[in-house]
Structure 1
Amino acid sequence: MAQQRSAAASAPSAQNIHLRYGVFVHGYHALSADADYVLQPWGYGVETHLYTVGLASWFLTLNLMSSTQGRFNGDDVAPISFNNSGFAHGEEETTHIDFDLSGPHVTVLLPVEKQREPLPEPELKQSIDMLSFLVELTHRLSLKHDCTLSRPIFDGVRLSYLEVHGPSQTTIPKDHGSYFKSDALKCEFTGRQIGGFSLSTHFKAAQSSPHQGAVWFVHDQQGGFIPARVEFAHYKLGQILVVLQSAPKISTVVRPQTH
């Protein structure tokens, strides 16, 4: 009986998938990103770490930890909370957002933001965080082999709108140290900022203009569909490339059970 209780208490409940990416700006490896996520039938959890590397760290310092958790509702996601904290733009930053049926609620925002234009309420109410959007895209692709999706995205300050369509069958490019060199499904997207513009910005026209991008998914025997490459245009930095550079690491998550 004791053995049965012990086995139940240590029953594996899910798997954690760890991914490591290189982030290239104009072809130069300026940042690295680590991601860990757990997907279960009822919901998800994601943690990411984005940081400067190499010569880029001589000129700027960026070290940000982000996390989100939420539930699945059929094809859709319902985020519960999002957190982002660390060092960027020369200072410590912290953002925490709670989500409910009425939309996102920013409970922590440091430093206090400068004056910005109002956020459009209908889109804000429907918005989710960026990590939850990526989970939803992966989830939809896994369930339906479809990545047609459009959503408002909120980071606590800025509101954007992303539209994705596809996928198309292709081969993942082999450049920039890509770990995968195999067939892939490519989803193309368009993004633009729709709210939260700084009152003093000189870039509103560029920020609100559509910017093109694409994400390549590969199918891993253990990890399922995995985002292996992302390309997109940034209104200020130009072309940005994110490449998965090492094998996915899969580990078992054991959830203790209480009786």
Structure 2
Amino acid sequence: MLFLSVCGLLLLTGGSSHAEEIPQFSIPPANTAIHIKYTIYTHWLPVMKLDTSFLLEQTHYNVALQARAEGLLSIFTKLRIQSVATGAIRDDSVLPSRYDSQGLSRSAQRHVVLDYPQGQPVVTLLEPKEDDREPVPDALRQRGADILTTMAKVILKVRQTGHCDGTHDVFDGIRVSHFTLKTAGQDMQPDVFQNRKIPAMRCEFIGYQTAGFIKGHQAKALREPHGGTVWFINVDGYGPVPVRTEIDHPKVGHLTVKLDKLEKGAG
């Protein structure tokens, strides 16, 4: 679902609009995975929990995302999804190898696997089949990558440059969404570990679905651009960490994503 894709992307993006304002990001120790837990709110009510884990080394990456419905949303939607992406990193470029996502979504157990022969995503498993959707054109599919690989691409850029500027096509196996990210200065946001506010980089993004619509549906809201903002701070030993996100979703409305917990773990 597009909602999960957007939320996944905004967890690992960030930047600053002027070089002199860019904080110096620390880099986690080698072979150390970073785990971050978030809660998503709408109208200040919790509706979803997100658990992320990412390991970004010089030669490889492993990014995972778990999402589950929370609060009132869990009454109406039984949602629980686990996704993992793996691949190589070469010359500062992310080279995906596999994306595996499965769980309960849209009232059914779903499982999608993407492999990347010649660096382009190919659907090697899709259960159940989604024959009610328009096929994704090859040209759009070939430009895309799964959401977790996109997360790895953006966080590496933030570590290296302090900026988030760029465009990304996200392919989840059944649809494609296009995102544009732009650095937008810095604000003050709460420190992860202390009761104070510190400088945070602000990154604005706009996204919209470009392919894989349900047949016969105009889906006007999904075709129109929708956006949001994410704030990043630097945490010694962790690097850039998103602490808050505001997003306007075409179906759900205004959402706020807040960090709950940050910890290190074994690689």
Q: TM-score, normalised by structure 2?
A: 0.82
Residue 244 in 1 paired to residue 259 in 2?
yes
Which residues of 2 match residues 56-67 of structure 1 at below 5 A? 56-67=73-84
Q: Which amino acid aligns with 1:206?
A: A
- Which residue matches 1:182? 198
Which residues of 2 match residues 1-259 of structure 1 at below 5 A? 14-101=31-118, 103-172=120-189, 181-203=197-219, 205-246=220-261, 248-253=262-267
Q: Give unmatched runs, 5+ long, in structure 1.
A: 1-11, 254-259
Take 2:55 and 2:180, find their aligned partners in 1: how far apart are those partners? 25
Shift of 1:163: 0.8
| Structure 1, 233-242 or 143-152: larger mean CA deviation | 233-242
Contact 1:17 1:37 in 2 (8 A): yes
Shift of 1:201: 2.1
How many positions carry a matched residue from both structures?
237
Distance 1:85 1:20, change over 3 A: same
Take 1:179 and 1:30, find their aligned partners in 2: how far apart are those partners? 25
Q: How far does the alpha carbon of each residue in 1:74-133 deviate from its partner, in whole angstroms, 9 at most, with x for none?
A: 443221111111111111111111113251111111111033223232231121111111
Q: How far does the alpha carbon of each residue in 1:1-28 deviate from its partner, in whole angstroms, 9 at most, with x for none?
A: xxxxxxxxxxx95101111100113332
Shift of 1:202: 4.1
Answer with 1 or 2: which has the greater Rg.
Answer: 1
Shift of 1:219: 0.7
Counterpart secondary structure, 1:207: helix
Take 2:175 and 2:184, find their aligned partners in 1: how far apart are those partners? 28
Q: TM-score, normalised by structure 1?
A: 0.84
Aligned-pair Cα RMSD in Å = 2.1
Percent of aligned positions with the same letter in both sequences?
Answer: 28
Q: Give unmatched runs, 5+ long, in structure 2.
A: 1-28
Counterpart secondary structure, 1:172: strand
Take 1:52 and 1:103, find their aligned partners in 2: how far apart are those partners? 32
